[in-house]
Amino acid sequence: MLDSQPFADQAGAALPAPAPPGEHRETVADAGAPTVQHTTVDYDIHGVVGVRLVDPAPADTRFVEGFVGRLRQPLGRQPDIVVRFVDRISVRGIRWLHVGQSGFGRRGLYVRCEGARQGWTCMRLDRAGARCEILSEIGLGFVPHLDPLIRLAALRRGFIPLHASAFVFAGVGVIAAGWPHSGKSSSLLAFAERGASYVGDDLVLLSGDGRRVLGLPRPLELSGRQVDGLAVARERRGRARLVLDRAARQLERLSTRGLLLHPGDSPLRQVLGRASSALQRRLGAQLPLEALFGDRVALEARPRTVFLMMSHAADGACVEPGELSVSVERLAASVQRDIRGLEYLYLASRFAFPWLRNELIENAGPIAAGLLRTALADKEIRVVRHSYPPALTDLYDAMRPYCGAPDGPEMSR
Amino acid sequence: MTPEHARNVTVDLDLHGVVGIRLVDPSPADVTVVQRQLALVERPLARDPDVVVRFVDDLLISSLRFVEYQKSGFTDDGFYVLRSGKRAVRVRIAFEGIGDRCEIVCQRGVRAVPFLMSIVIMTALARGCVPLQASAFAYEGTGVLVTGWATGGKTEALLAFSARGARYIGDEWILLTGDGRRMYGLGGLIPLHDWHLRQLPAVRSRVAASRRMLFGGGRGIDYVHGVLSRGPLGRSSPVRMLGAALPALRRQLNVQMDPADVFGSGSGPFEGVPQKVFLMIGHDLRSYRVDATEPGDVADRMVAANLYAQQLLFDSYIAHRFAFPKLRSKLLERAESLQLGILQRALAGKDAFVVRHPHPCDLGKLFDTMAPHCAAPRASSVPDAVAGPPAAVREMNFGIELHV
C-alpha cells in the first residue's frame, strides 16, 4: 500500500571532520544510530538562546558567526537550536511543495538553500523555538531561517526579540526600534561618533521585565550611504570606491527627487530606482565593531529610553511622545513581521503535517505584546520621524535631548 | 486621457451574487484592468457593494509616514500601499473594512489594483463562502474540485480532463458555498507551460506563432546550457549563472490562455456542484496513484495552503497594524478559524482522494488515474457529521512515517 522507497537520509553516517582549534569534541548520542564522535560548536547568546552546530564545515561556522557574532562558547545546557551537518540529504521520493525547491518527507520539511553552494536542509517546525533541529548538507554556508528561529527561542524564554539598535549614551540605555530602513542603525552610528557604547544592532533582546537589553557582537552592516557619512568607514575604503559611492548617491537623488518631474511610476524613474538600490547594496560594507566603538562594546544595558523610528516624506527630523499602548502594538506587529519568513514555512508544514502545531509561532504577536506591556511600562517612549535617507546629525540633534544628555530638557518620570 | 470620460461613472461587478464590487469614476482602461483581474463582466448591483474601488487622477498624499520605506505608509487619512510587484503605486486601502465595506482609492491608469483578488475572496469568506486554491470542472455530469499546494498539479488535472470533454468551471481560485452545494470559478486565464502544450496539440495550434517560437527559444537555451555544463566550461561562472537563471526563465515561459481556447465549446457557466474532491501532490517518483482520504484532512491542509497563497495580503495587514494599532480587522484575524470551519462543513460527506503524480506529468496517465474516481457520485451527498481527526490518514500520511 505504501511506497516502498525510503527517504534515505545519511544523518550520523558521516565521519566527523578533524576539529580545528577552538572547537571541542563530545559524544552525542544519535537516536537510533550507533554512537559516533561528533564535533560540536556552541554559541551562547547571553544565556538566553543556545545554538549548537554538529559537524559543521568552516563555511557553516562562518555563516553562523557572521550572524550571532563571536559568542562561541560551550553551552552548559541544552541548546535551543541544533544544526546537524551531514554529507548528503537524499530527497528521493520527496513530495513536492515547490518542485525542485521544497517538499516534505519522512523527517519533515525539506528546503533547498543556497549560500556558498546549493544543497538541501531538513527541519520540523513543531518544536521551533523550543529544541529545534535542522539537518543540513555540509558546507552550504547558510542556515535557513536562523534569524527567526533565534527570535522565537528568545520569545519562549521571555525576551522580546526587537528589530532595533541599542546603545548607551551619557549613561542612559537607549533602544531605537523600527522596521527595515527606519533609521535604527543610522541613529546608532550618529551616537557612536559622539561616544556612545554599542549594545546591539538589528536584533536585540529585551527582557520581559524591561531591565536588560542584550545585543550581538557582530560586524556592522553599513549601506554605501552610511559608509559615506562616517569618517571611520570612509578611511577604510579606497578612493575608487568613494567615487562610485558618490555616483550612487547622485543616481539615488535623481530617482527619488522630483527633478524629472515625472509621476511616481514613470518607467525611467523605476529603472533609476532599481539601478540605484542595486548599486547601494553593492557598495555596502561590513565594519568591525572595534573600528567604530573601540572598547566601548557593552552588549548589555539597562534601557531607559525607547525610540520608535520611522521615516516620513518630509525634510528634517522631529520627535513626538509615544503612547504606551500604541507602541506596544506597533512593536508587537514588528516582532511578528520579523518571523514572517518562518510563518510561511510553517504554513507549508501545516499543509504537509496538519497535526504538528506550534503554539509559539501561532501566537508570537500576542505573546510579544504581553511581554512588551510590562517591559515598556516604565520607559520613555518617543516616536522619531525623519527624512530618508536620514542625515546623522539631524538624528543626533533630534534624539539627543531624550538620551540623558546633561543639557537636555527635564524629563518627567 | 480625456477629462469627460470619468465623472460620476460607476461600473458594478457581481461575483456570483456573493461579493459586489463597484468601480467609481474609472476610465475605460481601468475597467478593463479590473475585469481582467477578476474575470467578471459588468452587472448592475441591486444591493450595496462590498468593495468600492474609487479612481482619481492624482492621489495626493500629505505628511506621509513610511512603515516600510517606499513600500507602505500612512497618513491621518489612511494606509497606503506604495508598491505593487516591482512597480511604484499609490493606493489607499481600508484594511479594517475588508468583509464589511472596503474602500480602495487608486490612481487612474494602474496596471492592476493591488490586493483586489485577495480582498474580494476575503469578503466572500465574510459572506460564508470559502475560497480555495483549486481548479474545478464538470466531467460526465460530475462536479470535480481539485486542490493542492501552489504548484501541486491542479492545472494539470484540469488540462488532462479538458482534452476529454470536461466542462471548465475555474482555475486558481474556486469559491465554495458554506453548504457545500455550489462552487464558482474565479479568475480568468489558465497559465500553460511548454510541456503542457506539447501534450495538447489541439490547444497548441491556438497559441500564437510568436509564443511558440519563444517556447522553442527556451528549449534552445536549455539545450545549450546542457551541452555547455557537460563541457570543459561547465564550472565557469557564466555557465553556472545561466544554470541558476534557467528555473526563473522556465517559469516565465508560459502562456496565459483563455479557458474557451483550452476547452473549446465546453466552457461556462463558471459554476457547478462539487461532488468529488482531489488533493494533488507531486512527488519525486514515476508512479501515479490515488488513495481515498477524509474530507476533513483535505480541509486541514487546504486552510494552510490558502493562507500561504494570501501571504502578501497578510504582510500588508501587519504593516497596517503597525500604522494603525487600534484599527483591527476582525475578519483577517479570524480568517484561519473561519476558513477551517466553513471548509470542514462544506467538504463533509464528499468523496475525497489524494492523487500523487510525478512532475512534470503525463496528462493521459493523470486522467487514467483520476477518471475512475470521478464517475457515479454517491446517491446522496447530504453532509454527515463533521469528520473527526482522521487517525488512519495520520498514520499513513501518504506513505510518510514521521518520527516524532
DSSP annotation of A411 reads: P
By CB atoms closer than 10 A (0-12, 13-18, 19+), residue B384 is exposed
In angstroms, the separation between the Cα of residue A170 and the nearest Cα of chain B is: 30
In this predicted structure, the answer to whether residue A13 has a pLDDT above a threshold of 80 is: no
Output the pLDDT for position B327. 93
Confidence of residue B200 (pLDDT cuts 50, 70, 90): confident
Residue A274 to residue B86, Cβ atoms within 8 A: yes
pLDDT of residue B261: 80
What 3-state DSSP class applies to B158? helix
The 10s digit of each residue's pLDDT in B129-181 is 999 999 999 999 999 999 999 878 999 999 999 888 888 998 889 999 999 99
CB contact under 8 A, B284 and A274: no
pLDDT band at B399 (very low <50, low <70, confident <90, very high): very low
φ, ψ for residue B69 (rounded to 5)?
Answer: -50, 120
d(CA B60, CA B65): 14
pTM: 0.85
Point out the residue among B89, B285, B301 whose CB comes nearest to the CB of A3: B285
Among the partner-chain residues A5, A310, A347, the one whose CB lies closest to the CB of B66 is A310
Q: Which whole number is the average pLDDT over B76-88?
A: 90
Half-sphere exposure of A169 (CA within 13 A, CB side): 28
Residue A349 in this model has a pLDDT that exceeds 80: yes
Report yes or no: A220 and A193 within 8 Å, Cβ to Cβ.
no
Residues linked to residue A36 through DSSP beta bridges, in sequence order: A28
Main-chain phi, psi angles of A89, to 5 degrees: -115, 120
Per-residue HEC secondary structure of B16-67 comes to CCCEEEEEECCCHHHHHHHHHHHCCCECCCCCCCCEEEEEECCCCCCCCEEE
The alpha carbon of residue B146 is apart from the nearest alpha carbon of chain A, in Å, by 15
Residue A267's pLDDT is 62
Residues contacting residue B133 through CB under 8 Å, at least 6 positions apart: B147, B148, B149, B150, B154, B172, B173, B302, B305, B306, B309
State the average pLDDT over residues A223-246: 73
B247–A100 C-beta distance less than 8 A:
yes
CB B186 within 8 A of CB B119: no
Residue written as grid cell 547568546: A45
CB A104 within 8 A of CB A95: yes
- How far A268 CA lies from chain B's nearest CA (Å)? 12
pLDDT of the residue at B228: 73
Return the C-alpha cell found at A28: 552525542
Listed in sequence order, the residues at least 6 apart from B230 whose beta carbon sits closer than 8 Å to its beta carbon are none
Whether residues B67 and A179 touch (CB distance < 8 A) is answered with yes
- Whether residue A189 is predicted with pLDDT greater than 80 in this model: the reply is yes
In tens, the pLDDT along A270-317 reads: 667 667 666 666 667 788 899 899 999 999 999 999 999 999 998 889
pLDDT in tens, B290-323: 999 999 999 999 999 999 999 999 999 999 999 9
- Please check the confidence at residue B283 and state whether its pLDDT lies above 60: yes
Q: Which of A42-46, A89-93, B56-60, B381-385 has the lowest mean pLDDT?
A: B381-385
The pLDDT tens digits for B333-358 are 999 999 999 999 999 999 999 999 99
* Least trusted range by pLDDT, from A104-118, A265-279, A393-407: A265-279
CB atoms within 10 A of CB A46: 16
Closest CA–CA distance from residue A46 to any residue of chain B (Å)? 29
Report the first-to-last Cα separation within chain B, whole angstroms. Answer: 63
Average pLDDT over residues A372-399: 94
Q: Please, which residues 101-140 of chain A have a Cβ atom closer than 8 Å to chain B? A: 103-108, 124
At B226, is the pLDDT very low, low, confident or very high (cuts 50, 70, 90)? confident
Element (H, E) at B109: none
At A60 the pLDDT is 95
Q: Quick one: cell of B307?
A: 493562507
As to burial, measured by CB atoms within 10 angstroms (0-12 exposed, 13-18 middle, 19+ buried), residue A98 is middle
Give me B263's grid cell.
Answer: 476547452
The DSSP annotation for B348-367 comes to TTSEEEEEEE-SS--HHHHH
